[in-house]
Amino acid sequence: MHFLDRPPRFLFFTGKGGVGKTSLACAAAVHLASKGKRVLLVSTDPASNVGQVFGFPIGHRIAALPDVPNLSALEIDPQAAAQAYRDRIVGPVRGRLPEAVVHGIEEQLSGACTTEIAAFDEFTELLLDSSLTAGFDHIVFDTAPTGHTIRLLQLPGAWSGFLEAGKGDVSCLGPVAGLEKQRSQYKAAVDALADPARTRLILVARAQAAALREVARTHEELAAIGLSQQVLVLNGVFPSDEAEGDPLASSIWRREQDALQALPAALRRLPRDDIPLKPFNLVGLDALRRLLRDDGGRQEPPEASSALPRSGSALSSLADEIASQGRGLVLLMGKGGVGKTTLAAALAVTLADRGLPVHLTTSDPAAHLAETLEGSLARLTVSRIDPQEETARYRRHVLETRGAHLDAAGRALLEEDLRSPCTEEIAVFHAFSRILREAETKFVILDTAPTGHTLLLLDAAGAYHREVSRQMDKRGVRDATPMMRLQDTKETKVLIVTLAETTPVLEAAGLQADLRRAGIEPWAWVVNGSMAASNPRSALLQRRARNEWREIEAVAADHAKRFALVPLLAYEPVGPDRLRELVG
């Protein structure tokens, strides 16, 4: 394995949710410990399931794992770190400023950037050979800091005055003003990350076109700021000997091979390991030890339910309920890679087939569905919002207004502020908002909708929504603002899309909590790409299908008021005919 060949002291596993980076980080830690190395496994994932993988509770203090000599673990809770971070900043002004202003500050500090910086604040000590880690040969991190976080920490320490003077626009970077550690400590931490003798980044992905494009962007972003010691690990690669005799298995194998043939050039230059798809759940020491071995893995998983939970339904049932309204907003939300763009298109085709006018709009960079559908169906309008164009337009506007009178240093800080993840979300939401009014007369289906944090951030930045709400209530008028439309369950149906895997379900549950905090109640969940609903013939896929039931039942029992189960298909659901089959 390239990623374990002469490993440096720090190993960082990074990748999008659901690709298996936690399993690989745990397996690598177990492997190194078995070689007699003293290893500390650190998780900074908000939805950490390291304790679940080992079957041993792990908290915010270093704990030795009783069944694995030489291995200890630590979970940094990013949410708790971010809350402590907010308390340090907001505490001094609470009671001195109006409650609405304090709430606005708190919301500005509730985004992904705050969590990133707060988590980095926590594990800086782990990177600098402090007394906490002096006894360990290797420190394995599940989840690495993003390129944005590192870029931010490389900037001059002038954020406090910049933000207090109001030179930034709506942002989630406000917490940087409250960093209390010495700047030199952060510089030393960033230097450790960029030192190939000390640090290796393991980019984890699946052999899927979209996942490979995303990990290529991560590679280039991190390499551009000096983090060049990288290894690519493709997890869950479908074995060729399982592709015979099952159309579904054969299709999966062929799609993966096509994706690998088109591997981005930037990734071709990296050392690469392929980890075969395993039939068993990656829980417990035995599974972790076997993950990195080529012994096939013939362990039968525990038996699970043989039928869907009673509350489950086909996607067509949800489409029937949506169609009965005659018009309205339909938002499909979820993490990248769960298939929400495809499902949005499938619902749009289904509603248009029933004679209902539909406007489908997406901000997905892969616009092949829009190209397939455009002009192909009566009553269906398809548009695409380009996130890069919208973000560039938004940045230009802010720089021309807020940045017009800044000096060079202030403008550099504003430009970095506008590179935050929140900026793209806000810019895309502005573009979506221009389309929302159409829902008064037709269906508007939004793919890649804004997160709950973005909605709250927009709401907090100027109290526009609250003031309009008061005026509308006086006149007895409703649905005046985009936020009000999204909060109205009669006008808007939010569908949360996920996969029947542990991490995607945990992330979807987190998204649901975030939306509820914004006053938006999800209407239904969709479990997409389910092998359990596909009746595969391949022995490997049958075992994988049985492993899905625990997650499907968790969705039914703990998370969703209603949900649909969509099978994994043997072909790409592109074009109206195949999209109809997806719903059916």
| Residues involved in catalysis | 18, 20-23, 45, 503
Q: How many CB atoms lie within 10 A of CB 242?
A: 19
Cβ-based burial of 291 (10 A; exposed 0-12, middle 13-18, buried ≥19): buried
Q: Cα separation of 320 and 323, whole Å? A: 5
Nearest to 42 by CA among 124, 146, 131: 124
Residue 532: which of 500, 505, 506, 497 has the closest Cα?
500
Q: What CA–CA distance (Å, rounded) separates 245 from 248?
A: 9
Separation between Cα atoms, residue 232 and residue 197, nearest integer Å: 18
State how far the Cα of 238 lies from the Cα of 464, in Å rounded to an integer: 51
In the structure encoding, which two tokens stand for residue 573, read together?
Answer: 């659901």
Tokens matching residue 554: 């968790």
- Residue recorded with tokens 């892969």: 366
Q: Are 109 and 456 in contact (CB under 8 A)?
A: no
| Bridging pattern class, strands 63-64 and 71-75 | antiparallel
What is the SS3 assignment for 525-560? EEEEEECCCCCCCCHHHHHHHHHHHHHHHHHHHHHC
Residue 127 CB partners (closer than 8 Å, separation 6+): 10, 188, 189, 192, 193
Task: Report how far Cα 546 is from the mean position of its chain's Cα atoms.
Answer: 25
Closest by CA to 359, choosing from 343, 374, 340, 337, is 374
Backbone angles phi, psi at 95, to 5 degrees: 90, -15
324-328 long-range contacts (CB < 8 A, ≥24 apart) are 326/356, 327/356, 327/439, 327/440, 327/441, 327/442, 327/443, 328/439, 328/443, 328/444, 328/490, 328/491, 328/492, 328/493
At which residue do the structure tokens 């972790």 appear?
288
Return the amino acid letter for 392.
Answer: A
Nearest of 84, 227, 78, 229 to residue 146 by alpha carbon: 227
Q: What is the DSSP string of 443-484?
A: EEEEESPPPHHHHHHHHHTT-HHHHHHHHHHHHT----SHHH
